[in-house]
Amino acid sequence: MTTRPHLIARVRAEFARSEQDKSCHFFPLPEDDSLPPILRAYCGFGIVPGQAEALDGPAGMPCMQCLMTAALADNTV
């Protein structure tokens, strides 16, 4: 079993429109190292690259759905 790498990020303050935007989300990284036009978090939340603030770890209010999914995301390859 291999753990899928993910990015922990939130919307940068100047782009945040709601409390959900301010939450930190867990984004599974594409396996081919490509940069899609919209990154989709485990919960389905989408963020446009360039509007994201990458975090070293969970900060502020984590998205609970993302947190739980990332913790259990031991995916087979």
- 61 Cβ partners below 8 Å, 6+ apart? 19, 22, 23, 24
To the question of pTM greater than 0.85 for the whole model, the response is no
Residues 6-59 have pLDDT tens digits of: 889 998 988 888 877 788 899 888 888 777 889 899 999 998 888 888 898 777
Terminal alpha carbon distance of the chain: 7
Name the CA dihedral angle for 43, 46, 49, 55, rounded to a multiple of 10 degrees.
-30
